[in-house]
A and B are shown apart, each in its own frame.
Chain A
């Protein structure tokens, strides 16, 4: 009963983390199926069933993005740590927090149901019409409603976080004294509040077009309208996915380099700039639909500009590590891995920003490689950094450092083997979302699938990494969560902590 009726942000955070684990396992299994099918050219596991393949890639995308990364970073670590880091007893609206979580299991149920009825939603996570309208039967409707529930959950959670940060800070804590993870969550919440309702609108239009004969996208409507609305949400969504990871990496690098993160104000402004500019670049996902040349030129320039604040963050992290007394433990390895691999993903993003290049590589594996570098290696490494850094505090379980190293290195090798060859495939012209390919692409595909099996091994190692209950309370940290004993009580800060700024802590 405690887990059903809870209003404690720690319980809800843990619920989210467990939910994200389930979502992650499901998404990973689907990715294994995809790579198994694509390991060799010709008929494979799916025996030529293209619809089944499309359903699996749709499920893989939605599960990983909305049921793994967002619950883990935003719902899990966000809920658990935000109130503690600002010295608040709980979130501003604890019951609203609970409904934010409990909207997710029904959403997952609807998504899984959608794959089981009729032919399944073989539409890609983007669900472009006309294909998503031509899917007669209830699969796509169930998937749309799943996304509605998930979106509502995110919006309510974002409202909660924003009000908490604005209204429940400990007295004496100025905004610039909030930890970077809190700042990251603030910007993420703003993005969620502004972007997710537009997705809701687009999905409503898709639903009515499918079922009550409206003409938003089909007949006298415009298919490109859907893409505009979807990507107006879609681009801020990818920043929603990565900003909390930025925050976690900042916390981890600052802690393990034993010095404050370089350029605190700059880091905050960079996140703000990324959030802001992220709203005016959406059409770089639409370069091939027939937009006006001047429009395309604008979006090319605006997209390239986002690389500037992002690069600033990378350099600041590097400056933090440089001349620090670095302690290389598991979380730090994850964070350093993040910095390297996210940079690789970022630079391929700058390549894709150029419409001229994108005309040739749009919907090829180059795009797939790009976003898997920033997500599979960015967001996922951020999640693992958080898991290793705060796992003991949240669950009381310790991890075997050696086993963690094996896990991290296997994961690193696995994901790189999986996704680096996909750059070559994309440049060579292999299209994405296709269940078979021309024989000339066989070599890199085989390597890629081998890499996927190595990643799978790393998941198995992860299962054995967390073990006995230990108490690890580092005393050198500068954020409030380390003042608490491992597995803190239901509600802490029943007396509000007061922050006083002394000259030495400036």
Chain B
């Protein structure tokens, strides 16, 4: 196979080739071909009895609900229409409590830390419930090819927004590093700070992430389930090894986050990156679990591998700007 030019092209073709064609659901092109020709647009609307159909499940039980769903929606359009769900509201509530808790914690108000932990736990639990619902919907057959493609597109858009977050953080690193303040004697790394080396541990961490980029890719393209699972497990292991290395690194730095703009930019930027490595590893672990259950590559696998690639690329930027570029 010729290698496509863009990473996206690479990703999309691996997803398509990994799954094979799903003949059951209508593709948009097929719908366009078989639609009847009508004299005007109003005549094209379906007859009144089905026009106002919602997609909520009825009381007849899960099997009947599934059939009803497929009969009334999946056969007419390949899109994902959802019944009502409490998780967004609860997640909103959890965010509110977390924010109040964070402010209370910052200002040493009583039980601030406890309130924040409660809120974060709320968000965590709601997220688990929400994504569990997504898995259930996938099992029910609601995740058509179009829906899966939309998940991946959504993941791309979300990754772009996260990339811009890191652009903001790295902008600060560049700004403060390239015009060091007078109070730092206009030196960068500042006088008195023992700069973090780009060789030694940081280089090892880069190698770990580079290897995980490769293993994540293997997981995407391999056909043999054992290879896929092994590659995913390797990626997750490498991710945690990176985090462990970062833990040791944080313990050993001679400077803290409060030590001038240098400490600030170092810890906040690498800290945000580390958080994303942690989230990415957990996401990959969930994808591994899902794959172990179904042995089919779904949207979760492609999204998590995509996210992992993003995390790796951000590390390249962080490493280049903070570790290498500081001199």
CB within 8 Å of B: which residues of A? 1-2, 4-7, 88-90, 92-96, 98-99, 101-103, 105-106, 109-110, 137-138, 141-142, 145-146, 148-149, 152, 155, 158-160, 162-163, 166-168, 171-172, 193-198, 200-202, 204-205, 208, 210-216, 219-222, 225, 228-229, 232, 483, 489-498, 500
Q: Map CB proximity to A onto B205-241 as digits: 1 under 8 Å, 0 otherwise.
A: 0000000000000000000000000000000000000
B53 near A491 with CB under 8 A, answer yes
Contacts A106-B99, A159-B157, A197-B161: A90 and B51 contacting too (C-beta < 8 A)?
no
Interface centre among A94, A110, A152 (most CB of B within 10 A): A94
Number of interface residues of B (CB under 8 A): 80
- Report which of A6, A146, A220, A489 forms a contact with B51, defined as CB distance below 8 A: A489
A489 x B96 contact (CB < 8 A): no
- Contacts A6-B84, A491-B54 known; A205 to B93 CB distance under 8 Å? no
Task: Give the one of A1, A148, A163, A213 with max B CB within 10 A.
Answer: A163
B31 touches A498 (CB 8 A): yes
Q: For residue A155, which residues in chain B have a CB less than 8 angstroms away from its CB?
A: 158, 161
Does B81 count as interface, using CB distance less than 8 angstroms?
Answer: yes
A101 vs B85: C-alpha distance in the bound complex, in angstroms?
Answer: 14
Question: Are A495 and B46 CB-contacts (below 8 A) given A197-B162, A216-B261, A220-B260?
Answer: yes
Counting CB contacts under 8 A, is B276 at the interface?
no
Q: Is the CB of A204 within 8 A of B82?
A: no
Q: Is the CB of B88 within 8 A of A496?
A: no
**A98 / chain B contacts, CB cutoff of 8 Å:** 85, 88-89
Contact mask for chain B residues 30-46; partner A; CB cutoff 8 A; 1 contact, 0 none:
01100101000110111
Chain B positions within 8 Å of A90 at CB level: 79, 81-82
Task: In the complex, identify which listed stretch (B17-25, B70-78, B306-314) lies at the interface while the others stay far away.
Answer: B70-78
Residues on B with C-beta less than 8 A from A494 are 46, 50-51, 53, 55, 72-73, 76-77, 81
Question: Are B261 and A229 in contact, with the CB atoms below 8 A?
Answer: no
Q: Which residues of A contact B14 (CB under 8 A)?
A: none
Query: Is B181's CB under 8 angstroms from A214's CB?
Result: no
- Whether the pair A106, B81 counts as a contact (CB closer than 8 A) is no
User: Which secondary structure dominates where chain B touches chain A?
Assistant: helix
**Within 8 Å CB of B55, what residues of A?**
491, 494
Q: Are A193 and B160 in contact (CB under 8 A)?
A: yes
Q: Contact partner of B31 among A204, A214, A496, CB < 8 A?
A: A496
Evaluate contact between A197 and B168: CB separation under 8 angstroms: yes
Is the Cβ of A141 less than 8 Å from the Cβ of B106?
A: yes
Report how far A160 CA is from B172 CA in the complex, Å.
29
**Known contacts A92-B150, A149-B95; is-contact A220 B37 (Cβ 8 Å):** no
Check B86 against A93 for contact (C-beta < 8 Å). Answer: no
The residues of B that contact A142 with a CB separation of less than 8 Å are: 99, 103
- Contact between B53 and A196 (Cβ–Cβ < 8 Å)? no
B103 near A159 with CB under 8 A, answer no
Q: Are A201 and B91 in contact (CB under 8 A)?
A: no
| Complex contact A193–B72 (CB within 8 A) | no
* CB neighbours of A198 from chain B (8 A): 164-165, 167-168, 171
Q: Are A137 and B107 in contact (CB under 8 A)?
A: yes
For chain B, residues 98 to 131, give those with C-beta under 8 angstroms from any C-beta of chain A. 99-100, 102-104, 106-107, 130
B29 at interface by CB-CB < 8 Å: yes
**B76 & A99 in contact (Cβ 8 Å cutoff):** no
Q: CB-CB < 8 A to A216: which residues of B? A: 172, 176, 261, 264-265, 268
* A138 to B108 Cα, complex, angstroms: 10
17 CB-based A-B contacts, threshold 8 Å: A4-B86, A92-B79, A95-B130, A98-B85, A106-B95, A142-B103, A146-B99, A167-B150, A172-B32, A194-B164, A197-B162, A210-B106, A215-B258, A215-B264, A219-B183, A492-B51, A494-B73
Residue of B nearest to A200 (CB): B165
Partner of B268, one of A2, A152, A205: A205
The docked-state distance in angstroms from the alpha carbon of A24 to that of B80 is 34
How many whole Å from B62's CB to the nearest CB in chain A?
A: 19
State whether A229 touches B86 (Cβ < 8 A): no
CB–CB A110/B172 < 8 A: no
Q: How far is the CB of A80 from chain B (nearest CB, A)?
A: 16
- Whether A171 and B164, one on each chain, are in contact in the complex, defined by CB atoms closer than 8 angstroms, is no
The answer for the CA separation of A159 and B151 in the assembled complex, in Å, is 11
Partner of A222, one of B83, B104, B176: B176
Q: Within 8 Å CB of A167, what residues of B? A: 146, 149-150, 153
In the complex where A220-B260, A228-B171 touch, is A88 in contact with B79 (Cβ < 8 A)? Answer: yes
Q: Say how far B274's CB is from chain A's closest CB, in angstroms.
A: 15
Q: Known pairs A201-B165, A216-B172, A219-B183; list 11 more (Cβ under 8 Å).
A: A7-B82, A159-B154, A162-B157, A163-B150, A193-B161, A194-B160, A208-B268, A221-B176, A494-B81, A496-B28, A500-B37
Complex Cα distance, B260 from A273, in Å, reads 41
How far is B91's CA from A102's CA once the two chains are assembled, in angstroms? 8
Among A138, A168, A172, A197, contact of B150 (Cβ-Cβ < 8 Å): A168
**Is B190 engaged at the interface, CB distance under 8 Å to the other chain?**
yes
Give every chain A residue within 8 A of B100 (Cβ-Cβ).
110
Q: How far is the CA of A51 from the CA of B258 in the complex (A)?
A: 30
Neighbouring B residues of A162 by C-beta, 8 Å: 153, 157
How long is the Cα–Cα vector from A490 to B81 in the complex, in angstroms? 11
B contact residues around A496 at 8 Å (CB): 28, 31, 76-77, 79
Sorted nearest first, the 6 A-B pairs with minimum C-beta distance are: A201-B168, A106-B96, A99-B88, A102-B92, A5-B84, A489-B52
